[in-house]
Every structure is written in structure tokens, then in C-alpha cells.
Chains A and B, each alone.
Chain A
Amino acid sequence: MDPTIEVAGLRKRYGSTVAVDDLTFTVRPGEVTGFVGPNGAGKSTTMRIVLGLDAADAGTALVGGRPYRSLRTPLTEVGALLDAEAVHPGRRAGDHLLWMAQSNGLPAGRVGEVLDQVGLTSAARRRAGGFSLGMRQRLGIAAAMLGDPPVLIFDEPVNGLDPEGIRWIRGYLRGLAAEGRAILVSSHLMSELEETADHLVVIGRGRMVADTSVADLVAGASGTRVLLRTSQRTEAMTLLARAGATVAAVDHDAVTVDGLSSERIAALLGEARVPFSALGAHRATLEEAYMELTRDAVEFGAREPAP
């Protein structure tokens, strides 16, 4: 059976709040799939349903073609890091990993191996209460790797890591994907996934916004938009809007134009004798593409996402 995560028609509501609404996507082996959406979009809920922790109201979530709860030794099939804070502060890091290993009949030697992988060997006998958030993230990743599973689920793994740690985890995830594992990584910041993810599942308010490769998403968001630089911004905007275009100011001397081709814009500006210094296709960043996609879907618009 291929290591995959298949989510189909998933729905979950808590009271009157719809957390996940008809979500369908697949996480394929050999790829890092970014799971993106603003806070409260339903990413964590979806992950909990995949892991059999929460029950879906409708739809299915399968891991390697089977419901999670039917896995015989789950840790050798799926590794998960949901919440780096979910460690008893009074327990030594090594003991935390040991009970997990024992629960799935894994060799106790795995504890030392995974601690080594994440660079926590020296902290094995320290109690988790004294760990920084970054160390807890590493401990959580070590826990996910105990059973050397082909499917990995990480919820916001970059949170709390220092720049060196962020670089490390990007390389680590790429490496795991290169081995043929299926990896689902969530983030509320598209930029965090820019150099990591191959594929993106974007959700907002529990609904699917985009299920696409990174390259397609950027191209799609760029569309037919044209960037115009002119010293007479106001005149240009009035003129082009009258001609039926959607115009947006992006700088004191720059506007983006939707709905008219470059040739038509050039002709209109020439007729009206409005000078312009540049006219060309606009290339969106991943972040812009994402903002575009989720503009309507942001649940807590006033809240700036934490860096």
C-alpha cells in the first residue's frame, strides 16, 4: 500500500461552528504537501481527524488506504507532531520517547537514534519542563520519527525555531520526502513553505481554496494582470477604469490593471497623452497569491499572523 493520506468529503462541526466543510485532498508519497490557511481555518482539526483523535461528522480520512484507528502499530505507519507543548514537564525527554516506543513494541534503542537525528542527545536525561519551544519542536519531531514511518504529519513545526532551526527543518523535510515518504506540513504562513513544499492545499474557513502545485498557484495568481508605472497615476487610473479595467494603486507611481491587455493599455494611454515609464506582466509572489486566495476566507481578519 502506498503511503498516502486521502481525505474525502470531510466535515466536522463543533456546536454551531463549522470547522471543516467538505474537504477533499490527497497527500502523495515523495512530496512535501503544504497545508496552508489562516488561523482557525481547520488545519489542526483535519489533522486530528486523520489521526483518529476526533470523529468526522461526514467523509473519510484514510492513511495508506485505511482508517487510522485500524492501524496495528500506528507509530510505524504514521508519525505526527501536533503540539510541541504536549509533553509532561516533569518527565525526562528520554522517558517520554521510551513510553511511546514501548507502546508500539519498538526497540528501546530507537530513543537514542531519534534524539540523535534531531540533535537532542545531550538533553535526553533532562526534564521536558526546562526545554525551550525550539527544543520541544525537536523532541516532537523525534517522537514522530520513532517508528520510522512512511507518512508524517507536522502541525506548525517551524513555530519557535530559530533561523538555524528553520533551515534545518526545511532540509530535514526535503530529505524525508526524497526517501519516498508522504509529508503533510501545516502553516499559517505561506512564506514558511515556499522553499519546502511541492504541493499546496490551501483552506479557509474549513473549505478548500486551492489544491495545486506551488508553480501553478503562483502562475494562476499572476493571471493577466499588468503592472503600469506612470508619473500621472491619477489620470491613468481614471482613464483605464473608464475603459472597463479594474485598477489598483500599488505605489505612488505604479498601478496594476486587470481586464485590459498591455497593447490596449498602451494605445489608450497614447491617445490621452499620459506618459508611462514601464508596462509589463505582473508576477505575483507566493505570499500575494495566497493573500489573494484567502482574502474572503480569513476568519479573524484583524489578527496579524504571528511571525
Chain B
Amino acid sequence: MTYSSTVPSRGAGFTQVLNAEWTKLRSLRSTWICVALTIGLTILLAYVAGSGNTTDANDFGPQRVFSVQLVHQPLTGDGSIVARVADQDVTGPDAKAGLMITAPVPAPGGKEGGDPDPRYAAVMVTPGHGVQWQSGFSHTAAGSSDPAPRWLKLTRTGSVVTGYESVDGVTWTQVGTNDVTGLPTTASVGLFVASPPTGLKSIRRSPTAIESSPDYTLSTATFESVGLSGGDGVPITGAWEHLDTDGAPRELPDDNVAGSFTEDAGRFTVSGAGDLGIQPPGFGADNDVVRDSLFGILIGFISMAVVATLFITTEFRRGTIRTTFTATPHRGRVLAAKSAVLAALAFLTGVAAAVPAFLISQPLLRENGFTPPAYPTVSLTDGPVARAVVGTGLVLALLALLALALGAWLRSGAAAITVVITLVVLPLVIGPFLTLEGEAWLKRTTPGAGMAIQQTRERWDDVIGPWPGIAVLCVWVGVAMVAAAVQLRRRDA
């Protein structure tokens, strides 16, 4: 006489194990306490970030910048200057090389913020925006969109200055013209070069002090066939003088942006940094208001790491892992099901934390000066913002999986939580004691690289892009998962 089961079964496949693992996770109060803590801590830190951060980026009006390398000589009355810009270093889209006429500039001149109508006119080529015309800081015009090599010409007739460009030095096209009122009879005329900063340069003074300044790079341009003539067309041959109108700040010790000028058989080589024109207000304001409001998830994660590791280590500690593995002998399936339900919970928790964190902090930041134009208003539906908010859920899910895998691997909650928190938080703690490069390397290679998904604008302290950062975190999760799966399969339960 034998017996067989009278209970019907719908099988013991992945769906069933998924159901079982979800029941395990949801049936513990500690799960929901930790989820609430994660959300609460993240929102709290967003509030702190929102109310504690202030900026005066918008308090300064547009800045007039007249920081160029000028190679000039005096010109009295009418006349014109011609040159071929043979070559220009591409140090950014707005590097400038061209011809200028200006009221004599005292050296060093620097910013001309006080003069309502600076007396200069210039025609120039740029690598990114073709041929440009500027007069004062108020008039601009654009010529062709081609970069160097290019012929340029500047003509003065009375107080009217006109700029031309040409591909061959024969056929000229007007780029712009202006009546430069107040231009003295004897003005300075010549060649100029400028290269505005393309980012910030930072050095670490101490663990808590980082100095940042515009990252000026020298741009070198070569001028040929330089010809200066008077109003009667007679060539003028005078000595060229080099003037640096203060091309760049010099606070940084390794800053080598001093301009230079050499002439060799009619070839004029001019190097310089600096800029000519108007800097918009808020220039250099680079706080990432979205990232700042979501960064608290890293603290909230500590609570999620507890849920994630205990999800498996408690089973080893209490012996329920044996019940689990007798019910589901396929151990990889158990790990996969645990991963799936945990990732889903952590993702939703992350998004549930990020959305209110963002919504609470943004009005606070706006009150504290983070307003347009320096800080354009951001909304949840902006692409990068949505990526950061949803990405916060994604990064929390991946970090939770890392914690779970470490738990399954090490079989000890204390060990796994310690390891995962060390991996994620330690770079933030010891980073300041390293060089900037060392810190960047550490942040780029540890699981915290995934936090880059919260970046919504380029900043000097970015160490990795949003998706590459997630990829780094995925590699960590993958390696830990494989180790965990091998260990679960090999070791006795």
C-alpha cells in the first residue's frame, strides 16, 4: 500500500518562486520600516540641501571682457589693415583670432566694466562660429561659418569701421560695420588672439578646500600677409608692439597662460588666452541643482542595504535557507527570484524617494538664488531630470542587488553590510585626502560611480558620465552575483 499526494500543484517554476520570495519580503515589518527610512532620509537630505545652499550667481550683471593679446601700432586718421589668418588652434568653439581697431588700451587693461560704450571694433574667425564682427560690447554680426584659413580686412573711414572677409584676398564680403563714436584720431590697430576658458580648473589645497578657476588654454594663431595702409592707400611700416590686456588670472601655480608674439619673415605668431565680448550673468555657476537634491539617496541606501543583505543572510542565520532550498532545490532560481523582487522594491523605493526629494528641494533652491538665467528652472519632465530621478531608483536597485549578492556570498549580514557600505561610502570619506586625480579614479571605479546617473549638467568634478557610471556599477553587481551563485551551488546549505 502506497500513498501519493492529493494536493494539486501549479508547478515550481520561476513565477512560483518569485511569488514566494515576494511573500517573504513583504511579510516582515523590518522591510517596510527600512523602506520608509530610505525615503525619509532621502527627502530629509533634499530639504537640507535645498534650504542650506545659496548662490549669488545672478547678482552680477553681464560682464564685459576685454582680455586679449594685441599686436598693434598706432594709426592716425583713415586707413585699413589686411591679414590672412593662416592657422588657428582649436581650443574651443569661441577661440578668436582677428583684426582690431581700438582706442589706445592701457596695459594691463582687464575688464572694461565701467565704460558704457567701449571704443573698439574687431573682425575675427572662430573655430566654432565662423567669422564674427564685434563693436563695443553691444554690436555683433556674423559672416560666413567657415573657420581659418581666411582673409580679414578692417577699414576706418572717419569714425566708421567696417570689417570684411575673403577666401582669396581679392573678393571681399562685408561682415559688419559700425560708427564707433569717440574713437580717437590716433587709434591702435592690429592683430589679436583670445581663447575663452572651456571649463574649470581645480586643485586641492587641503581635504576641505578645493580651488577652482576658469581653465584657460592658450590658443595660437598664425597671421600672414599683414598689411597696414593709410587712408591714401600708402602702406605704413611701423614697429609692432605686443600688449597683453591681462589674458587670464594667475592665481593657479601651474597656470601657464602668458601670451606671446613672434614675427618671422612676415609670419606673425600670436598666442593667448582670455576673451573679448560679453559674459552672460551667472557665468561659472555650475551647481547641479538636480543632483544636489537627489544625493541623499546614498544615505537612504544604508537602510536599503540592510533589507537587501538580511533578505538572504537571515535565512542562513535562522536556518530557513534549508526550508527554502528543500522547497526549491534549484538554488540559482532562488537567487534570481530574490534579486528580481528586491530590485523591484528598491527601484520603486528610489523613485518614491527621488520625486518628493526633487519637488521639495527645487522651490527652496529657487528661494535661495538658484534662478534663471544662471540656473534655468528644471522640471521632472526634462530629459536629464527624468533620467536623474528614474536613475535614482535604478542606482538604488543596483546597489541593493550588490548588497544581496554580497550577503549570499559571505552568508553574514554584518560582513556584507560592512563591505557594501565601505565600497559605496569610503570613496567619499577618503577621497578628500587624495589628489583630485586619485579621488576621481576612486569614484570612477567603485560602485558609487552609478551615482553619476544623477548628473544633469557638466561640472568640473564629474568623474564619469551617467550611463558609463551605471555600467561600472553593473559590473560590480555582475561579478558579485556570479560569485554568490557559484558559492550557493557549491557550499552545503
Contact = CB atoms under 8 A, between A and B. Distances in A.
Given A3-B2, A100-B327, A150-B5, A87 B318 contact: yes
A53 B493 contact: yes
B28 A90 contact: yes
Contacts of B322: 48, 51, 53, 82-83, 86
Interface in B14-50: 16-17, 19-21, 23-24, 27-30
A86 B319 contact: yes
B318 A86 contact: yes
Interface in A24-74: 29-30, 48, 51-55, 68-74
Contact of A69 (B12, B329, B492): B329
B4 A150 contact: yes
Nearest to B15: A105
B17 A180 contact: no
B10 interface: yes
A76 B9 contact: yes
B322 to A, nearest CB: 5
Contact-residue size bin, chain A (C-beta under 8 Å from the other chain): 35 or more
B19 A103 contact: yes
Nearest to B10: A105
B26 to A, nearest CB: 9
Contact of B492 (A53, A76, A105, A107): A53
Contact of B4 (A3, A54, A73, A75): A3
A91 interface: yes
A78 B322 CA distance: 14
Give the size category of B's interface with A: 35 or more
Contacts of B328: 74, 103
A95 interface: yes
A82 B325 CA distance: 12
A70 B328 CA distance: 10
Interface string A131-158: 0000000000001001111100000000
A105 B323 contact: no
Contacts, number: 141
B320 interface: yes
Given A105-B9, A148-B7, A52 B325 contact: yes
A83 B319 contact: yes
A51 B326 contact: yes
Nearest to B17: A103
Interface in B302-360: 314, 318-320, 322-330
A282 interface: no
Q: Which applies to chain A's interface (DSSP): helix, strand, loop or mixed?
A: loop
Interface string B447-463: 00000000000000000
Given A2-B2, A147-B5, A104 B23 contact: no
B318 A74 contact: no
Nearest to A94: B27
A51 B493 CA distance: 11
A36 B36 CA distance: 50
Given A73-B11, A105-B11, A107-B7, A100 B323 contact: yes
B116 interface: no
Contact of A180 (B1, B13, B21): B1
A77 interface: yes
A50 to B, nearest CB: 10
Contacts of B2: 2-3, 29-30, 150, 180
B6 interface: yes
B114 interface: no
B23 A95 contact: yes
B319 to A, nearest CB: 3
B11 A72 contact: yes
B8 interface: yes
A83 B319 CA distance: 8
A105 B326 contact: no
A82 B492 CA distance: 15
Contacts of B319: 82-83, 85-86
B60 interface: no
A105 B52 CA distance: 53
B318 A99 contact: no
Greatest chain A CB density within 10 A among B3, B10, B329 is at B3
A105 B181 CA distance: 90
Interface in B228-279: none
Nearest to B31: A90
Given A103-B12, A105-B9, A29 B493 contact: no
Contact of B329 (A74, A86, A92): A74
A110 interface: yes
A148 B5 contact: yes
A88 B28 contact: yes
A47 B392 CA distance: 46
B12 to A, nearest CB: 5
A102 interface: yes
Interface in B356-391: none
B35 to A, nearest CB: 15
A19 to B, nearest CB: 11
A98 interface: yes
A143 B323 CA distance: 9
B9 A147 contact: yes
Nearest to A78: B326
A147 B3 contact: no
B12 A91 contact: no
Contacts of A30: 1-2
A106 interface: yes
B311 to A, nearest CB: 11
Nearest to A30: B1
Contacts of A70: 329
B159 to A, nearest CB: 87
A54 B8 CA distance: 28
A2 B4 CA distance: 9
A73 B8 CA distance: 10
Given A88-B28, A91-B27, A103-B17, A76 B323 contact: no
A181 interface: yes
A181 B323 contact: no
A179 interface: yes
A225 B7 CA distance: 52
Nearest to A145: B7
A80 interface: yes
A156 to B, nearest CB: 14
A72 B325 CA distance: 13
Contacts of B325: 52-53
A259 B318 CA distance: 53
Contacts of B29: 90
B109 to A, nearest CB: 74
Contacts of B493: 48, 53-54
Contacts of B30: 90
B329 A68 contact: yes
A62 B322 CA distance: 18
User: What 3 pairs between A and B have smallest CB-CB spacing?
Assistant: A105-B10, A86-B319, A103-B20
14 contacts: A52-B325, A55-B492, A68-B329, A74-B326, A76-B7, A85-B318, A87-B318, A87-B320, A88-B28, A103-B327, A104-B9, A104-B12, A150-B3, A180-B2
Given A85-B318, A86-B318, A91-B28, 13 more contacts: A29-B2, A48-B492, A48-B493, A51-B326, A52-B325, A53-B493, A69-B329, A75-B326, A86-B323, A90-B30, A98-B23, A103-B324, A143-B323
